[in-house]
Structure 1
């Protein structure tokens, strides 16, 4: 998905050697069926199948100047055409004319394969009388009148999942079936207990581990995976193994049951039993909505907008569209990195305190393993679900992002499994939006080192932390200057190097996470407030809001790809993410120390609690809905503010409902298995 149109054309190549290297042989069956179709549409009263096939050809529409160059035609109408000897087959011919790249949907007999269709198009076979059914764009709109063909692709009207697709679908079904089976088990146990039909000894054993609702007893405390925005009810299993020889299996089934996982899902608490950090849920959800809004706007723009140039003129020049322009929107990712660093430091320091103030190798391994288990089950589910979905859905003309993504997953799935996908070339990332999980885990793994240095020697810690911040800023600036990168990934996707060498790499994105670690260490270990006077808070808020406004404004001022190494672009690229993180850290600090005012009231609304509990699932699943909507379209999407608003709101509603299901069925069961009786619930 990340490369869209550009990946498709680069894959096809920028050469016309196809004209000389492609076989010019067309089978007898294809030739006969094509001639039959062409003869039929030139009759005074053609047969219905021929009319349907002709009508399914892509026709030139208005507003080519505004970006409406594609001619998708009608895929379903083509597939519905059936003659006595053949059926309609929908194919896309990818062309270049001058500087304009576009595709034309054509309907041909299904007896022709892709190579034969290319040959027929090259020789302008498809004509109705003297009029070509694949005409070039008029010279009045394009300086170049000659068409150049890149490739042809035909879409089948059947689906044929291979072994890997079936395996992915099986994994998804199994991950959903286990919690449902565990739920049925718990319900059965509860029913037997209520009916008093169980033996006395067995009932006594059940009563030691079950409460009156048939679920595991809890110790009354709530843990929270706030870094993934999931509040869990940690359960103290007290059932004895003397009553249940397989007590481990029994306890696992209880942890997977909906009676357990659904508890607390709609809780409005902050997620911290001991209080504090009331602003984090609000910051998290507003940042998530900002990202979802950006994706809802960016994905259609990349693939199938019929007035892209109009969108570009409207959106990229006005700060009023800060919720849909890719630069400002994806600074919300840096907010998530900041929160991740803050909570990782807080979690590790809490674990050390519970372990009698000892930072051992075993504690670090448990700390990292918990994180791995925290994110991977739902990550793997979404990856398998996406691959399986791509293989069984009848996609529309805008199929190419899905095919690219499918091929990436079949080859580079191990990058997601090992959480190193962001280290692969960007066009090889399976489920591209999950690059963040790999980056987050890599940053997360550095927290024990920094916490160890903090406890060992404060001076060494300060030097190392300062050096790392400086190094990540220098790396960003140098890469930007040498490769002449824009300050954010443009919608034209003309700068593949931006993602390949900058956007997803840990050495350029570590700054906000490190600032989060520093913030978390400070908030956890501080003895007194840093803000002692109101004037300090006023000055801090003025600087914070000024920095946020300046960073968003400069993204508009510096947009575009510099023609030569640019100092302003390099400086902005090196500084804007750490500066953004510092400003958000100030908001958290001010809210914690009682100087948040109405902003703290907004960020601390109880509304954010339930949304925060499902936000990890929201992040992973919302792009799937956007891609499915785009991929099923047979016609391009027309940009208007109202259309995009409805697209965003519809995506939000579908995402929230699905995320509740995924959270209780896939995410929380594995989190609940992290219970440690001695240390108690661990915050991640």
Structure 2
């Protein structure tokens, strides 16, 4: 009787196992390898590969209360495990327990795909003895002991590239190879020209000038043109070589060569201001860039990479000393860039009108817009292609997943960047997210000719239009903030989709600082005398300016957090603080230009800012690439301390400056210098 009961139990157990295996919908090879691994780690003397795989599993650490809930495990150690029939494969299991969402890194046989791993996890297959290898967080830390599986993601050992990846890598290589080839070719031509000048010819060429490439320029030549490029017919050493040296092709080579593009980048002359402008703009531009880089260096790891996120959040929200890493105040640096963009756009257009005999023609406007496109698009598209290409060739770590969706959208929505309308797309469709600013900047830039037209036509109409636009953008910001109950700031503001989608990247909420920049540029270009007549006016202006800056930053801390109901103070702050900030920065520029800047003007006009200002555009575009590379290659979380974040920022800064110089010389400046002359 007892034996029959035992047989019945065994048959029932076997039937249950077979039914369960069938229900799991797991391949035979995957189930066999998984059972082999689990059997090996439960032996008295487990095999080495099984120990390595077990050791690579993520395990709970300390400071869960401070935000260290993720259990990444060890990716490379998992991949180094090899049994006679399979190797280790690193997967992430995303779980929800109570209100805590976290992931656990697990090491499974590479014969299992993502769906099979998810099925095995659902049935709690991975056990060491009677203990699960993916245990829930203890009840003392989380009230709910039930784990809810969100998804499973396995990281491939190999990189795969599709046609888009290959095309982007080819474009990047082409954009780099062309300037390098032009540099070599120009150097060769220069060497040949130097060899061709004999001592006797040198003595008889007293009236001959040598250009920066060693190409002779003779006086008394007759002028001509070929394909719109001026040439000179001279009695040179070689009429054919002289013809070539003055051809359009050779002029293009010189524009792309490093001999041309690298000149002036490291100049510290205070008179060399990028795009034309005023010496104080160098310091304002660079300090704003450093502020943005500091904020990004602190905020990007916060999204999912910190093991003490809650501690970081409490620290930075407590004191205004963390203004360099807190999302709300850091974003004011973007408004400073918009202000400078408006100022320089108005100055550039007014100077072009003056050179065109005071005529604002459609052709002049098209040329003005084309120069802007030529300035920003080559490097912009290079960074886009570089980012897409990096995704296909880099072995990413477990912390890459928060960024992969946004960057991968490039393959679908790349045209938004090409047409400079990416900020008008839904936030989850923005290709290379930090390039939204270029779209916003160009859209604002395109309004400058219209405002200048009204300014030249009738000053009263101009005042009404400008005032109406300023009022509209402030009202739009306030209404959007109030209706959607958007925060003034929070450490992870950019993770709030509504904040970005309806407020942060839109022209109707961010146009105010650019408009104030246009007004400032018009005033500085057309002024007849000084605005400040007495010293007391300057003193009063500085007191108001510094007070406004302090109040705007302090108010962000006072209004922190989300409101359950529409908040009037928060709505007013969002509507007013960006234009008011722009007005305060405008005062600094005006005071410096009119001789009332004092020590602040001396600091902002320091010649050491000029080289950094020359490469600031490239630095802005490339610095997030280094930050994402650093985060994406991490296998373990980053621990927040002030010292760690300071070194993180300084490391990114050094790499960014080095890459910024290279990209400015190779990609940005050649297209700026390249010009076409009409016959």
When normalised by structure 1's length, the TM-score is 0.90
Distance of 1:605 and 1:108 partners within structure 2: 58
Per-residue displacement from partner, 1:262-315 (whole Å, max 9, x unpaired)?
110111234359996110000000000000000000001112000000001111
Q: Specify the alignment match of 1:224 in structure 2.
A: none
RMSD (CA atoms): 2.4
The within-5 A match list for 1:158-307 is 158-196=158-196, 211-214=211-214, 239-240=231-232, 243-244=243-244, 247-269=247-269, 270-272=271-273, 277-307=278-308
Contact preservation (8 Å) 2:86, 2:111: yes
Report the equivalent of 2:528: 527
Look up the match of 1:416: 417
Closer, same or farther in 2 for the Cα pair 1:492/1:402, shift >3 Å? closer
Shift of 1:216: 10
Following the alignment from structure 1 to structure 2, what is the Cα–Cα distance between the partners of residues 635 and 215?
Answer: 57
Distance 1:474 1:274, change over 3 A: closer
> Helix, strand or coil for the counterpart of 1:303?
coil
- Following superposition, which runs of at least 4 residues in structure 1 exceed 3 angstroms of deviation? 207-210, 212-217, 236-242, 272-276, 674-678
Contact 2:274–2:613 (8 Å) recurs in 1: no
**Partner residue in 2 for 1:50:** 50
- Trace 1:610-649 onto structure 2 (pairs within 5 A): 610-649=611-650
Tell me the CA shift for residue 249 of structure 1: 1.7
Which is worse superposed, 436-445 or 266-275? Answer: 266-275
> How much does 1:391 deviate?
1.0
Distance in 2 (CA, whole Å) between partners of 1:542 and 1:334 is: 21
Q: Please report how far the alpha carbon of residue 246 of structure 1 lies from its aligned counterpart in structure 2 after TM superposition.
A: 8.9
Local SS of the residue matching 1:102: strand
Aligned partner of 1:92 in structure 2 is 92
CA contact (8 A) 1:215 1:260 kept: no
Q: CA deviation at 1:125?
A: 0.2
**Within 2, Cα distance between the matches of 1:273 and 1:26?**
62
2:652 corresponds to = 651
Give the Cα–Cα distance (whole angstroms) in 1 for the partners of residues 312 and 498 of structure 2.
24
Relative contact order higher in (CA < 8 Å, ≥ 6 apart): 1
Which residue of the partner structure matches residue 110 of structure 1? Answer: 110
CA–CA separation in structure 1 for the residues paired with 2:306 and 2:567: 31
Shift of 1:493: 5.3
- Once the 2 structures are TM-superposed, how far is the Cα of residue 161 of structure 1 from its aligned partner? 1.1
CA distance in 2: counterparts of 1:25 and 1:425, whole angstroms: 38
Unmatched segments (≥5 aa) in structure 1: 1-21, 218-235, 679-684
The Cα shift of 1:210 comes to: 6.2
Structure 1 partner of 2:462: 461
Give the superposition deviation at 1:239: 4.0
Residue 592 of structure 1, CA deviation: 0.4
Match for residue 666 of structure 1?
A: 667
Aligned equivalent of 2:431: 430
Separation in 2, partners of 1:481, 1:315: 25
Q: CA deviation at 1:316?
A: 1.3
Q: Secondary structure at the match of 1:316?
A: helix
Q: Distance in 1 between matches of 2:481 and 2:55?
A: 49
- Partner of residue 384, structure 1: 385
8 A Cα contact 1:346 1:521, kept in partner? yes
Cα distance in 2, alignment partners of residues 406 and 478 from structure 1 = 31
Equivalent residue number for residue 471 of structure 1? 472
Unaligned stretches of 5+ in structure 2? 1-21, 218-227, 234-239
Could you tell me how far 1:112 is from its partner in structure 2? 0.4
Distance 1:273 1:467, change over 3 A: closer
Deviations 1:5-36 (A, max 9, x none): xxxxxxxxxxxxxxxxx983000000000000
What is the deviation of 1:674? 3.5
**What is the correspondence of 1:357-396 to structure 2 with a 5 Å cutoff?**
357-396=358-397
Cα distance change, pair 275–212 in 1 and its aligned pair in 2 (3 A): closer
CA distance in 1, matches of 2:276, 2:425: 40
Aligned CA distance change for structure 1 residues 150 and 194 (closer, same or farther; 3 Å): same
Partner deviation per Cα, 1:47-70 (whole Å, 9 max, x = no partner):
111111101000000000000000
Q: Distance in 1 between matches of 2:579 and 2:91?
A: 48
* C-alpha distance in 2 between matches for 1:509 and 1:585: 17
CA contact (8 A) 2:388 2:408 kept: no
- Structure-2 separation of matches of 1:117 and 1:433: 35
Residue 122 in structure 1 maps to residue 122 in structure 2: yes
Q: Supply the distance in 2 between the matched residues of 1:459 and 1:48 (Cα, whole angstroms).
A: 84
Partner of 2:603: 602
- CA distance in structure 2 between the aligned counterparts of 1:276 and 1:561, rounded to whole angstroms: 41
Residue-by-residue CA offset, 1:510-540 (whole Å, 9 max, x unaligned): 0000000000000000101110011111111
Q: Deviations over 1:226-272 (max 9, x none)?
A: xxxxxxxxxx9854498239922221111000111111011123435
Alignment of 1:561-600 (within 5 A): 561-600=562-601
Partners of 1:210 and 1:437 in 2: CA distance: 40
Match of 2:67 in 1: 67
1:33 corresponding residue in structure 2: 33
1:23 touches 1:119 (CA, 8 Å); kept in 2? no
| 1:557-580, Cα deviation, whole Å (9 max, x unpaired) | 111111100000000000000000
Confirm or deny: 8 A CA contact 1:617 1:662 kept in the other structure: yes
State whether residues 208 and 238 of structure 1, in contact with CA within 8 Å, keep that contact through their aligned partners in structure 2.
Answer: no
In structure 2, the residue matched to 1:12 is none
Relative to structure 1, is the Cα distance of residues 585 and 492 closer, same or farther in structure 2, using a 3 angstrom cutoff?
A: closer
Q: Distance in 1 between matches of 2:184 and 2:57?
A: 53
Note the alpha carbon deviations across 1:295-353, whole angstroms, 9 max, x for none. 00000111200000000111111101011001101100000000000000000000000
Q: 1:601 to 1:245 in 2, by over 3 A?
A: closer
Task: Find the aligned partners of 1:47 and 1:166 in 2 and give their Cα distance.
Answer: 42
CA shift digits 1:443-475 (9 cap, x unpaired): 000000000000000000000000000000000
Aligned counterparts of 1:633 and 1:553: Cα–Cα separation in 2: 35
Q: 1:505 Cα shift?
A: 0.1
Q: Given that residues 316 and 322 in structure 2 are in contact (C-alpha distance below 8 angstroms), is that contact kept between their aligned partners in structure 1? A: yes
Partner of 1:8: none
Classify the secondary structure of the residue corresponding to 2:303: helix
Question: Can you list the C-alpha shifts for 1:168-222, whole angstroms capped at 9, x where unaligned?
Answer: 0000000000000000110110111122199x99xx9xx99961543799xxxxx
Please state how far the C-alpha of 1:495 moved relative to its aligned partner. Answer: 2.8
SS at match of 1:152: strand
Q: Number of residues paired by the alignment? A: 635
Aligned residues of 1:326 and 1:490 also touching (Cα < 8 A): yes
Greater Rg by CA: 2
Partners of 2:494 and 2:500 within 8 A in 1 = no
